[in-house]
A and B are shown apart, each in its own frame.
Chain A
Amino acid sequence: MNQIFLQFLLGIMFLTIVFLHLSKKNFSASIAYGIQSLVIVLFFLNSFFETNNLAILLVVFLMLIVKVILAPLFFIRLIKKNALAFSVSTYLNTPLTIISIAILTFIAHYQKFSPLTSIVPANQDSLSLALSAMFLSLFLIINRKGALSQILGVLSLENSIVAFVIFAGLEQNPALQIGIMFNIGIWILIATIFMSMILKHFGTLNVSSMNNLKG
């Protein structure tokens, strides 16, 4: 598959993150995450076709199962079980959120980051886009009050890092692949346990009411 298609996919991923910011319903957020993960799987598939590395095929397979299928299913089940239909409000209202998104994207494309984004000069735009995806994911965690959205933010941060790495040409690194797998495993585990614990203890997943962490 040629570069244009890959960039198109990256654009889709970027849009899913923006969508995550703007969505009001948790259900659609989970679906957006699923789409994002699918994009990443397609990236990896592309690199498999280019390099024929079996490890990558394994990664593709696992990612497909866990991230694209299982994770959104898990989230949907959680939503249904705990009636978290609507995602809780954000700190900044929608216009301000959009402005912040724009600022962060602009920062990522800023010249100052060119040493970082010029690792593979041909892909500079893509790398900047991936970097902005990273910033936006972080912003998602900051902006949202619901624990579910925050977890989605962390997962999409991870996806954007993987995207960055792919476009930087580093996906051959076995450490990256193992790291990704390990990361997914741990995250699912912790998410399950933590969520149930938080729910049990606080009675809600609304993070702003968890004030006992105050110093």
Chain B
Amino acid sequence: MLEIITSPISFFILLSLFFVGAIGSLLLRKDDDSANIWSNFFAIAGSLWGLLFSVATIISEHTAAFLVNGSPFPLLSFSFNIDLLSAFFIFIISLIALFCSIYAVGYVRHYYQKYNIGALGFFYNFFILGILLVLTASNGIFFLIGWEIMSVASFFMVIYDRDDQENVKAGFLYLVMTYIGTAFIVVAFLLLYKFIGSFDFVTIKSGVALLPIGAKNIIFLAALIGFGVKAGIIPLHIWLPAAHPAAPSHISALMSGVMIKTGIFMMMRLFLDILQPIPIWWGIVVLIIGIISSLLGVLYALTEHDIKRLLAYHSIENIGIILLGLGSALIFSSLSMPALAFLSLVAALFHTLNHAIFKSLLFLGAGSVINQMHTRNMEEYGGLIKYMPQTAFFFLIGSMAISALPPFNGFFSEWLTFQSLFQGIAILDSSMRWLFILAVGALAFTGGLALACFVKAFGSIFLARPRSTEVTHAKESPRSMLIGMGALAMLSFLFGIFSSQTVSLLEKIGRSFDVLQKIPETILVSNSQGLMIENSFSSVSGLTFLLSLVGALIVVAIIIDLIINRSQKIKIGATWDCGTDLNPRMEITSTGFARSIVVIFKGILKPSIQHTIDYSDSESRYLPRTRTVSLGVGDVYKSYFYQPILTMITSLSMRVKNIQSGNTNIYVLYILIALLVSLFSIL
């Protein structure tokens, strides 16, 4: 039975389900409702099949590598390689796509009559198809085909809401950055081809010894930049906060939860699997990038008051955390400490899964809120918990998960990351030690700042009094959206409680890497109770924590409420207002909430404040009519990094433009010169 489920036929059924969903959706584009139902039905069916396929592959360890004949080009071969790492990522995408599609059934309704639903369904299914190809392709050119499908489909979905010009601009920026990344990836593949002579990953892996060390380093840098653009590491992240808010919310969830992870997937594949053995500075670079991305990501998130941009910056932060795990895995593998590399890798994989779950949950929640409020600005929300209680509850769970609060899943993956870094500090020598100490510091601060940010987010959106009248018209989301969010919240909880079982499955994936084959059995013992690191370095149990907390809560509640002073009366009154009338302006705004932190970190964030005063009488400036204060955060990347590059390219282009004089004679002169030069050089 398992054989059939994990066979290549099954994989092609998976691909074809999405393909049928795409084509059918396009054909049904005249009828909004049926296009919506068709595309989401097939996406749900495909996701369920994908879940079955990936779980069966991981449990039975039946990896599959197969080839489809009939490629017309010599260098392109349609070869697939579904090993345990691919299966894990297929699991992630199926899981998230399942719930996003369920959510989409209700969410897409508010695009009816405005845009073409059939096109959305088409691109949505192709997007998932592209990701599946990226995850399983075993030939460089085939991989690039899948990569292109994924990027182009997501571009069209980012600009889907094209009435808003900002979205179109964001889509354009996204497209440019994606292609810059793709260019670097192509360079890496071409270099591999030049030295090893093949685009096929398996051949490359066996021929890695042929690479001279200089070329290998260049390949590393090119791949890091190329896949880093997709993953959203700083400073290549500028497209993320623009593109993720622009897309429809379930697409943002997929992009943030899965698409950026494909960059991580290829980094794992290339650096830990194909290009081994690697020099140690590669791991150091990745670790430093992880430190920078996580800290800066959360700091920028604190400055945002657009809810989806805030969540996008948190994605950058979590990618940084995943890179902390991956970087330390690379360092440990270069130092021939496979046991510790295994631990770090498992931490990174677990955090990938957890982030996908809780980030999608948060984006879906944000989508529900934005649907009702028609604005992304958090300053206009407030008090939504009374109008959208279930959404608020699910968003609360998502916030607790992303802030790494036990017993939700975020805590356990950050715990594992911490533990791997602690081991690094304990075992390595002094120069590397300081790097790991820095990493632990970054992770600790990131956790604290993320907590602050989500107090701000949750508080501004859902608590206190409404800050605009729009809030009072908000209604709870339709049932499909609630089911999507609720299921993700439940998963976030379950993956936390049953983290030890999950980690034992992840250990299998970790062991599938060649470089991590020979490790002692007891590095990471996950028994039914909890996670444990070797030599009893540490252990934690989510289930016990949860049970004891619930137990304590119940005991306390019983004693306080029922036993002591049963005759207490609870009155409902107004908040203490010092005698004035309460209005929404008395509440703290989200900008104000984070301003203290922004000021503390002003060296990094470069906040700016501008006052403009408009007087009633411009000569005697005593009575101001209006006063405007603008608070801003400096955009360091655009001004110091991208703008100079852009200016240089533009000035270079202007000079090169002079070649095009418009005179045909000059053009033929170019031809003659070219002919002479080429003859000279060839002969």
Chain B residues numbered 642-669 whose CB sits less than 8 Å from any CB in chain A: 657, 660-666, 668-669
Q: Which of A120-128, A183-191, A207-215 contacts B (4 or more CB under 8 A)?
A: A207-215
Residues of A within 8 A of B537 (CB): none
A141 and B666 alpha carbons, distance in the complex (Å): 10
Q: Which of A50-58, A74-82, A111-119, A173-181 contacts B (4 or more CB under 8 A)?
A: A111-119
Instruction: Flag B100-126 by CB within 8 Å of A: 1 or 0 each.
Output: 000000000000000000000000000
Q: Is B557 an interface residue (CB 8 A)?
A: no
Given contacts A138-B671, A142-B672, A215-B657, contact A116 B664 (CB under 8 A): no
Residue pair B668, A142 in contact (C-beta under 8 Å):
yes
CB-contact partner of B680 in A112, A138, A141, under 8 A:
A112
Scoring B657, B663, B676 by chain A CB atoms within 10 A of each residue's CB, the highest score goes to B663
Shortest Cβ distance from residue A141 to the other chain B in the assembled complex, whole angstroms: 5
Residue pair A215, B672 in contact (C-beta under 8 Å):
no
Which single residue of chain B is at the shortest CB-CB distance from A154?
B668
Residues of B within 8 A of A145 (CB): 665
Residues of B within 8 A of A28 (CB): none
Residues of B within 8 A of A212 (CB): 662
Q: Is B176 an interface residue (CB 8 A)?
A: no
- Size category of the B interface is 10 to 19
Number of A positions contacting B (CB below 8 A) = 24
Q: Is B68 an interface residue (CB 8 A)?
A: no
A66 and B589 alpha carbons, distance in the complex (Å): 86
CB-contact partner of B663 in A112, A115, A208, under 8 A:
A208
Q: Is A27 an interface residue (CB 8 A)?
A: no
Chain B residues numbered 337-352 whose CB sits less than 8 Å from any CB in chain A: none
Shortest Cβ distance from residue B652 to the other chain A in the assembled complex, whole angstroms: 15
Residue pair B665, A207 in contact (C-beta under 8 Å):
yes
Q: Is A45 an interface residue (CB 8 A)?
A: no
A37 and B666 alpha carbons, distance in the complex (Å): 27
Instruction: Flag A136-154 by CB within 8 Å of B: 1 or 0 each.
Output: 0011011111000010000
Residue pair B662, A116 in contact (C-beta under 8 Å):
no
Residue pair B675, A138 in contact (C-beta under 8 Å):
yes
Shortest Cβ distance from residue A202 to the other chain B in the assembled complex, whole angstroms: 12
Shortest Cβ distance from residue A94 to the other chain B in the assembled complex, whole angstroms: 17
Residues of A within 8 A of B657 (CB): 215
Residues of B within 8 A of A115 (CB): 683
Residues of B within 8 A of A207 (CB): 663-665
Instruction: Flag A78-118 by CB within 8 Å of B: 1 or 0 each.
Output: 00000000000001000000000000000100001111100
Which single residue of chain B is at the shortest CB-CB distance from A208?
B663
A23 and B243 alpha carbons, distance in the complex (Å): 65
Q: Is B679 an interface residue (CB 8 A)?
A: yes
Residues of B within 8 A of A135 (CB): 672, 676
Residues of A within 8 A of B663 (CB): 207-208, 211, 213
Which single residue of chain A is at the shortest CB-CB distance from B659?
A215
Residue pair B665, A211 in contact (C-beta under 8 Å):
no
A211 and B676 alpha carbons, distance in the complex (Å): 27
Residue pair B683, A112 in contact (C-beta under 8 Å):
yes
Residues of A within 8 A of B672 (CB): 135, 138-139, 142
Residues of B within 8 A of A211 (CB): 662-663
Residue pair B669, A142 in contact (C-beta under 8 Å):
yes
Shortest Cβ distance from residue B404 to the other chain A in the assembled complex, whole angstroms: 56
Chain B residues numbered 40-69 whose CB sits less than 8 Å from any CB in chain A: none
Residues of B within 8 A of A214 (CB): 660-662
A107 and B677 alpha carbons, distance in the complex (Å): 12
Shortest Cβ distance from residue B624 to the other chain A in the assembled complex, whole angstroms: 54
Residues of B within 8 A of A114 (CB): 683
Residues of A within 8 A of B671 (CB): 138
A114-B683, A141-B668, A215-B661 given; name 18 further pairs at CB < 8 Å. A112-B679, A112-B683, A113-B679, A113-B683, A116-B679, A135-B676, A142-B666, A142-B668, A142-B669, A142-B672, A150-B668, A207-B663, A207-B664, A210-B662, A211-B662, A213-B663, A215-B660, A215-B662
Q: List B residues at the A interface (Cβ < 8 Å).
A: 657, 660-666, 668-669, 671-672, 675-676, 679-680, 683
Q: List 23 A-B contacts (CB under 8 A).
A: A112-B679, A112-B683, A113-B679, A114-B683, A115-B683, A116-B679, A135-B672, A138-B671, A138-B672, A138-B675, A141-B665, A142-B666, A142-B669, A142-B672, A144-B665, A150-B668, A207-B663, A207-B664, A207-B665, A211-B663, A214-B660, A214-B661, A215-B660
Closest 3 pairs between A and B when the two form their complex, measured CB to CB: A214-B662, A215-B660, A141-B668
